[in-house]
Amino acid sequence: MRQVAKWALDMAARRGASYAGARIVAQRSRALATKNGKVGSASDAESVGMSVRVIADGAWGFAASAELDRGSVEATAAHAVEIARASARVKQHDVRLAPEKAVVAEWATPYRIDPFSVSVDENIALLLKIDAELRSVAGITLAETNLNFNREEQWFLSSEGADIHQTKLSTGAGYAAYAFAGNEIQKRSYPNSYGGQWQNKGYELIDELKLVENARRIAEEAVALHGADQCPEGKFDLILDSSQLGLQIHESIGHPIELDRVLGMEANFAGTSFLTLDKLRTLRYGSDLVNVVADARQEHGPGLGTFGFDDEGVPAQCTPIITSGLFTGYLSSRETAHTIGENRSGGTLRAEGWNRLPMIRMTNISLLPAEKPLSLEQLIAATDHGILMQTNRSWSIDDKRYNFQFGCEIGWEIKNGKRARMVKNPSYSGITTEFWNSLDAICSRDEWTLWGTPNCGKGQPQQVMGTGHGAAPARFRGIKVGSAYKSG
Amino acid sequence: MLTSDQAGEIFDRIKKLSTADEAEVLFSGGRFALTRFANNTIHQNVAEENHVVSVRTVFGGRTARASTNQFDSDSLREVVRAAENLAKVQHPDPDLLPMPDAAEAAGSADRSVRSTPAIPSRYFEETAGITPEQRAEGVKKIVSVAGRYKLTTAGVFSSAESCEGIFNSRGLSDWHTQTLAEISITMLVEDSSGWQKANSPDVANLDPLLLAETAAKKAVDSARPREIPAGKYTVILEPAAVLDIVGFMFWDYSGMAILDQRSFLTGRMGTKLFGDNISIWDDVGHLLQTGAPFDGEGVRRERIGLVENGTVKRVVFARATAERVKRSEYREKAGPIAATGHGFPLPNEMGEMPLNIVFARPRDPQSIEQMIASTERGVLVTRLWYIREVDPYEKMLTGMTRDGTFLVEGGRVQGGVRNFRFNESLIHMLSNVDAMGVPARACGEESFDMVVPAMKVREFNFTEVTKF
């Protein structure tokens, strides 16, 4: 594969590119799903191809092809240079890349059990066992389960001398139980909604998740929601479980700190950001307890944003994003680093596959846990009157990332430190910085989970990327609850 | 781009490699290029060529699929082996039907209930041949409009030629090619923005200057937005805004969704859910539609009247779904039950979905200007954003307005307003439509492309206001 990359780099140089980076990527995936006692889908897929990203005449060009013979690769590289020259017809100034030491390196996701080595028989038996548990509860009208495995091997070579071979592996699993009755559909999911939990690790994740053990409880909760009271409307102290808080971080911190959004590069699709450059190191993003990092390093954990090097050869890093409540960092790339006065990229440029342009993506954007021990049960016990919300059901935020509204699958009204009653259709809304400034308690490390979001969409053409979000349950004071169901 | 002859040859090789009872091969892919601009500069500019071959095998009622984008002999042998190995370990599916032959797929077996429209050519050489230089010239025109208004612009100009084909071991084969060009433009001022987007198989139908002028005018006219309180308003939704929100209900117009009891139509088929003025078709043959005239099993798409004068009349069916519904408690409540040509490739969990939505032309169509003129107080909405389902059975959705939200008072547009969050039921909304425009091809970011009208809707529920 290195030879393929070299053909591309040589041709790009011959056509006059001042910079070229070639990626050859081989992806393999397996998706298994069941629905109501039957296998719903069973598929394997592989995709192999190469792309070359070049600068010529001070502008970008990118071309990709699945054909890996020398003639096709060279034609693709030449096309990338032709495209760059067309880009140069509409430019304000030349592209400027922050310097980066070219490295020769190997990196691979650590894992114990290769998920592709586990028989499909065994996987389907597991899913059908979960399905049977879910549907053994009277009132469950639909049960869905899924297992997903992905392997991505990439060779990145650049005209600056980088030569990086990297292999990433990810595993995902989850299930949902639906109960339809009267005029209402209620749903519970485990370990998270929309595909469950995903991490960059092997099949060992499946055992850790205790999928079967939780199935009956989840199904019983879905049915019980029909008999629960509607979540009250008003201002409440709000406790979010760690999975919902992970999504809250994703939407109201992870996206606004993407420097390409801030600079207007995503204005036509994903939107811009309220975090204009003047807010760096001046904005009080959250309360003093809020410490958030963007950490792609393996030592942060096996998140979907964990890697050795990003897709322009920059090593994984940890960037402080919010430090004791103060906004301290953006997600940057070699092209954008200079706009915030940095002389090095933050290492966040990633592409969905061989045929997509790398762009700034969240790595693992995590809220650090409290150092003082605090469990969720202790946090509930310390709350006079509030609502605990668990597991996301709907999410929406404006295109500058100010106003958000989230719905959750299940809520609990807390009175005098105890879960007084289950409530259905819980939702909350707010303004990003007001919300994070209302945080007054975070649970400690033993309640902290590094969640995987496998479906983050961005870019044109749209790319889907996996991101990681570490969070422990936390409490927010005086939050607007229930407005989603308020009529007019 | 891959041709149908080349695909047929590959299918013959796969058929020889397979030991399965039945084999089906789907082809998809083509060439795609996109020029992206922001801050009045082309900052991303990409092109790719890729084709995927996807093999489904069947052994005694067991089926599974494997796919690859490599077409050499070893890769084809491997993808057949993967599909067979995966199929062999499945449990037999009692609902799995034999693959359709050409006659069944064409609808000739049951012509009494099927109406499969012919489609116009959707492949245009001029679109397929667009060069990076031509796209750059188009962007240059858009940037020049931004310059004239002293605005910043961002957007895309893309072009594509694509193919989609299906072959199976019972002799069915079908092939579709099309082109598509698309322009999307955002114009930005410090505190406001405007947006326009259009696409067509024929690039000659796109006018970058007109789109840029309209987006620029929206940005200028909505500058210095004022905040007005959330509440129930009469809204005038431009076609893109209608598309964005109504798209969220069409997953539910599916026999499988009703069987699964995840559809808001469960228990509501044949009832009047919307206003008398709402009639909706799925029609792949419509002149403003795009896409292949066959589904994931190769069955030709039928023209289906989903909603007639506010009453939900029909949902769509894949072959196996139709057979299941015929045996179910819903057999008397699901309208005519037969394969309609809307199934997804097997195996899948979702069954089917209508993808070529066309709203019927109203009796007395009104222009957006007429709708504004007849509005005492309301809000004109260019597009909606980040829409998600809050309540699946009431079909209550939340989302934001974006890129051009205006106050209308006394029959005139009175300037921009800060963007709203809405929480609105589609059942409620489509029961409160006071006026509609001529349906037009619309495209957005929240739903698939459709032929929809602008709508004037009363009592649309805005629940919050954002900061801009």
Type and span of the H or E element at B42: strand B41-59
* DSSP per position, B417-433: B--EEEEEEHHHHTT-E
Number of residue pairs across A and B with CB atoms under 8 Å? 282
| Residue carrying the six token digits 């004109």 | B380
Q: Report the C-alpha gap between B399 and B235 in whole angstroms.
A: 15
Contact B41/A92, CB-based, under 8 Å? yes
Type and span of the H or E element at A133: helix A120-135
- For residue B5, pLDDT over 90 is answered with yes
Contact A394/B389, CB-based, under 8 Å? yes
Q: What is the dihedral of CA A5, A6, A10, A12, to 10 degrees?
A: 10
Residues of A in contact with B70 (CB under 8 A): 46, 48, 66
Q: Report the C-alpha gap between A199 and A207 in whole angstroms.
A: 13
CB proximity under 8 Å: B 342-361 to A: 347-349
pLDDT band of B252, cuts 50, 70, 90: very high
Residue A461, preceding peptide bond in cis (omega within 30° of 0): yes
Contact A394/B193, CB-based, under 8 Å? no
For residue A397, give the chain B residue with the closest CA: B386
Burial class (CB in 10 A: 0-12, 13-18, 19+), B97: middle
Q: Quote the minimal CA–CA distance from B86 to chain A in Å.
A: 7
- For residue B113, pLDDT over 80 is answered with no
Whether A117 has its CB under 8 Å from any CB of chain B: the answer is no
Contact A431/B467, CB-based, under 8 Å? yes
* pLDDT at residue A486, as a whole number: 65
Secondary-structure percent of chain B, ordered helix, strand, coil, rounded to 5: 25, 35, 40
When pLDDT is averaged across residues B253-257 and rounded to a whole number, the result is 97
ipTM score of complex = 0.96
Whether A141 has its CB under 8 Å from any CB of chain B: the answer is yes
Contact A396/B399, CB-based, under 8 Å? yes
Contact A38/B91, CB-based, under 8 Å? yes
For residue A44, give the chain B residue with the closest CA: B66
* Homologous superfamily in CATH for domain B4-30+50-110: PmbA/TldD superfamily (3.30.2290.10)
Tell me if residue B11 falls in helix, strand or coil: helix
Residues of B in contact with A479 (CB under 8 A): none
Contact B185/A405, CB-based, under 8 Å? no
Residue B229, preceding peptide bond in cis (omega within 30° of 0): no
Q: Smallest Cβ distance to A49: which of B50, B154, B394?
A: B50
- For residue B115, pLDDT over 80 is answered with no
| Residue carrying the six token digits 């091969």 | B25
Per the CB < 8 A criterion, the answer to whether A367 and A471 are in contact is yes
When pLDDT is averaged across residues B18-40 and rounded to a whole number, the result is 98
Please choose, from the candidates A444, A30, A32, A111, the residue with its C-alpha nearest in 3D space to the C-alpha of residue A306: A111
Helices (H), B19-123: 73-88, 102-106
Tell me if residue A357 falls in helix, strand or coil: coil
B107 torsion bin: left (phi>0), alpha (psi -120 to 50), beta (else): left
Please choose, from the candidates B328, B305, B326, B324, the residue with its C-alpha nearest in 3D space to the C-alpha of residue B316: B305
Q: Report the C-alpha gap between A296 and A300 in whole angstroms.
A: 7
Splitting chain A (488 residues) into consecutive groups of 10 residues, what average pLDDT does each group show?
A: 96 98 98 95 95 98 98 98 98 97 98 97 97 98 98 98 98 98 97 97 97 98 98 97 98 98 98 98 98 98 98 98 98 98 97 98 98 98 98 98 98 98 98 98 98 97 97 98 75
Contact A83/B45, CB-based, under 8 Å? yes
- For residue B110, pLDDT over 60 is answered with no
Look up residue B99 and give its DSSP letter. Answer: P
Whether A230 has its CB under 8 Å from any CB of chain B: the answer is no
Q: Report the C-alpha gap between A146 and A172 in whole angstroms.
A: 8
Please choose, from the candidates B461, B427, B449, the residue with its C-alpha nearest in 3D space to the C-alpha of residue B247: B449
Q: Report the C-alpha gap between B69 and B53 in whole angstroms.
A: 6
Q: Report the C-alpha gap between A344 and A488 in whole angstroms.
A: 50
* pLDDT at residue B282, as a whole number: 98
- Measured distance between the N- and C-terminal CA atoms of chain B, rounded to whole angstroms: 46
Residues of A in contact with B45 (CB under 8 A): 59-62, 83-84, 86-87
pLDDT band of B114, cuts 50, 70, 90: low
Please choose, from the candidates B199, B124, B277, the residue with its C-alpha nearest in 3D space to the C-alpha of residue B442: B199
Whether B225 has its CB under 8 Å from any CB of chain A: the answer is no
Distance, CA of A181 to chain centre: 34
B273 token code pair: 């859910």
Helices (H), B203-307: 208-221, 239-246, 255-259
* pLDDT at residue A488, as a whole number: 44
A333 token code pair: 């790339």
Q: Report the C-alpha gap between B221 and B214 in whole angstroms.
A: 10
Residues of A in contact with B66 (CB under 8 A): 43-45
Helices (H) and strands (E) in chain A, counts: 9, 24
* pLDDT at residue B333, as a whole number: 82
Q: Quote the minimal CA–CA distance from A119 to chain B in Å.
A: 9
Per the CB < 8 A criterion, the answer to whether B67 and B28 are in contact is no
Per the CB < 8 A criterion, the answer to whether A432 and B453 are in contact is no
- For residue B373, pLDDT over 80 is answered with yes
Whether B137 has its CB under 8 Å from any CB of chain A: the answer is yes
- For residue B8, pLDDT over 80 is answered with yes
Whether B211 has its CB under 8 Å from any CB of chain A: the answer is no
Q: Which whole-number Å values give the CA distances from A53 to A25, A50, A358, A459, B40, in the listed order?
A: 14, 10, 9, 16, 21
Q: Smallest Cβ distance to B388: which of A44, A395, A487?
A: A395
Per the CB < 8 A criterion, the answer to whether B460 and B422 are in contact is yes
| Residue carrying the six token digits 């208004």 | B149
* pLDDT at residue B89, as a whole number: 93
Whether B271 has its CB under 8 Å from any CB of chain A: the answer is no
Contact B47/A83, CB-based, under 8 Å? yes
Q: Smallest Cβ distance to B93: which of A38, A89, A184?
A: A38
Count CA atoms closer than 13 A to B235's CA, side-chain side: 28
Backbone φ, ψ for residue A219 (5° rounding) = -65, -40
Q: Quote the minimal CA–CA distance from A418 to chain B in Å.
A: 28
Interface test with B, best of A30, A225, A268, A273 (most B CBs within 10 A): A268
Residues of B in contact with A47 (CB under 8 A): 50, 52, 68-69
Please choose, from the candidates A235, A192, A190, the residue with its C-alpha nearest in 3D space to the C-alpha of residue A211: A190
A107 token code pair: 């990196």
Q: Each residue of B291-338: pLDDT tens digit?
A: 999 999 999 999 999 999 999 999 999 999 999 999 999 998 888 899
Contact B195/A268, CB-based, under 8 Å? yes
Per the CB < 8 A criterion, the answer to whether B201 and B178 are in contact is yes
Q: Smallest Cβ distance to B39: which of A92, A398, A402?
A: A92
B122 token code pair: 């959707």
B317 token code pair: 């069916």
Handedness of CA B359, B365, B369, B371 (dihedral sign): negative
Q: Smallest Cβ distance to A267: which of B87, B136, B154?
A: B154
Per the CB < 8 A criterion, the answer to whether A42 and A30 are in contact is no
Residues of A in contact with B49 (CB under 8 A): 64-67
Type and span of the H or E element at B7: helix B4-17
Q: Domain locations in chain B?
A: 4-30+50-110, 125-221, 225-468
Q: Domains, chain A, ranges and CATH? A: 2-227 (3.30.2290.10), 230-485 (no CATH)
Burial class (CB in 10 A: 0-12, 13-18, 19+), A72: middle
Q: Report the C-alpha gap between A180 and B459 in whole angstroms.
A: 29
Contact B42/A141, CB-based, under 8 Å? no
Q: Smallest Cβ distance to A63: which of B47, B79, B390?
A: B47
Please choose, from the candidates B281, B214, B294, the residue with its C-alpha nearest in 3D space to the C-alpha of residue B253: B281
For residue A13, count other CB atoms closer than 10 A to its CB: 16
* DSSP per position, A281-344: TT-B-S-TT--EEEE-SGGG-S-TT--SB-TTSPBP-EEEEEETTEE---B--TTTGGGGT-SS
A409 token code pair: 């699958």
Look up residue B241 and give its DSSP letter. Answer: H
pLDDT band of B118, cuts 50, 70, 90: confident
Q: Each residue of B54-99: pLDDT tens digit?
A: 999 999 999 999 999 999 999 999 999 999 999 999 999 999 999 9
Q: Report the C-alpha gap between A203 and A205 in whole angstroms.
A: 5
**Contacts of B133 by beta carbon, 8 Å cutoff, 6+ apart:** A86, A89
| Residue carrying the six token digits 């997804």 | B344
Q: Each residue of B127-174: pLDDT tens digit?
A: 999 999 999 999 999 999 999 999 999 999 999 999 999 999 999 999
Whether pTM exceeds 0.90? yes
Strand partners, A389: A240, A411
Q: Report the C-alpha gap between A256 and A268 in whole angstroms.
A: 15
Whether A212 has its CB under 8 Å from any CB of chain B: the answer is no
Contact A46/B398, CB-based, under 8 Å? no
CA triplet A148, A154, A158: central angle to 5 degrees?
155
Q: Quote the minimal CA–CA distance from B361 to chain A in Å.
A: 30
For residue B171, count other CB atoms closer than 10 A to its CB: 12
What CATH code is assigned to B125-221?
3.30.2290.10
| Residue carrying the six token digits 């979702």 | B350
- Measured distance between the N- and C-terminal CA atoms of chain A, rounded to whole angstroms: 60
